[in-house]
Amino acid sequence: MTQIFFAVPGYANRVNDLLVAGSPQSTEAVVFFGGDIQDLEVVMGAHREAATFSRWSLEKTTRLLEGQFANHLIVAVRPSRRQDIVLSCFDNFVKSTDAVSPSEHAPNQHALEHLDLLLESLSGLLGEVDFHRHLSCVKIVGFSKGCVVLNQLVYEFPTWLAQNSAVSAPSILRKIGRMYWLDAGHSGPVEYWITQPRLLDSLRELNVGVHVVISPYQVGNLRRPSYVPQLEEFLRICGQLGVLKDVTKLHEGKAFADATIDDHFDTLLHLP
C-alpha cells in the first residue's frame, strides 16, 4: 500500500508531497524523482492526455519500485510545481524558469539539505523516529526530468566534501550508495549530463555507484545535438573514475522517428 503525505517540510520554507511504500523499519531507502506527466492517479485521471499514461502514476511507480528493491523503504518525491498539468518542476531542488525548465545548477541550492530534512520529517510522520538516523544506504533514482535533481546533488557534493566536517554536512551525504539516471532529459538551458571531472570525482570520493538506462526516445532526438556528446563524456569519465556500474541501452537500432514515449517509460522497468 502506498501512503501519501502532503506538504512535508524540508529546508527553510520548502515543502514537498511524499509517496511512501515498503517497510519503515528498513535501513535502506530508495528516493525517486519522476518525469513530466507522472503525478497522483486522481490528477492524471482528470486530464485527457495524462490519463493515457495513468499506469505510470506516482502511486503505481512507487509500487513498481517496491517490487524491484525488496526490503527497502520507497519514497517518491512529488514535484512542487506543475504547468499545464503534465509539466513538472522540482524547483525546491533546482533553480527553474517560470516555464518549469531547469535554469541553473549551482553549489548553493540546498538540495541535499532539503532531501535530508524531508526524510527526517518523514521519520516522524511514519512514527519511526529512528528511521532517519538508522538509514545505512540511500539509492536515488531519477527518471527523465527528475534526473535534474541528481545533477544538482552532484553539483553540491564537492562543496560539502571540501568542508571536511561530518557534523555540518547533512547525514544523507555519506549514505548515498547508488544513483540511477533513467533516460535523463529536459527542455531547459542547463546540461543534460554532467561532464565536469571535478564534480563527478565527488562520486568516487563518496563511493557512489552510477547506473544508466537510456532509450532512443532521448538519445535519438536530433533537436538536442549536445545530448549524445554529453552522455558519452559522462559515461567516459564515470568509467575512468570506477563509479560506473552498468549502462543499459533499450531498443538499440530503433530510429528516433520510430521511438515512442512508451520506450521512454520502459526504462523504469529495467533498473539494474
Residue 1's pLDDT is 85
Structural Rg of the chain based on CA atoms: 17
Residue 201's pLDDT is 99
Cell numbers linked to 255: 530510429
The model's pTM is 0.95
Residue 247's H or E segment, with its range, is: strand 244-249
pLDDT category of residue 164 using cuts at 50, 70 and 90: low
Residue 166's pLDDT is 56
pLDDT tens-digit readout, 100-120: 778 789 999 999 999 999 999
Cell numbers linked to 256: 528516433
pLDDT category of residue 165 using cuts at 50, 70 and 90: low
Contact 44, 54 (CB under 8 A): yes
Domains in the chain: ranges and CATH: 3-269 (3.40.50.1820)
Compute φ and ψ for 209, nearest 5 degrees.
-85, 140
pLDDT at 167 over 60: no
pLDDT at 250 over 70: yes
pLDDT tens-digit readout, 36-89: 999 999 999 998 888 999 999 999 999 999 999 999 999 999 999 988 778 889
Contact 62, 19 (CB under 8 A): yes
Contact 57, 85 (CB under 8 A): no
pLDDT at 181 over 70: yes
Considering only residues 140 and 97, tell me which one the structure prediction assigns the higher pLDDT. Answer: 140
Considering only residues 134 and 8, tell me which one the structure prediction assigns the higher pLDDT. Answer: 8
Strand partners, 84: none
pLDDT tens-digit readout, 119-130: 999 999 998 767
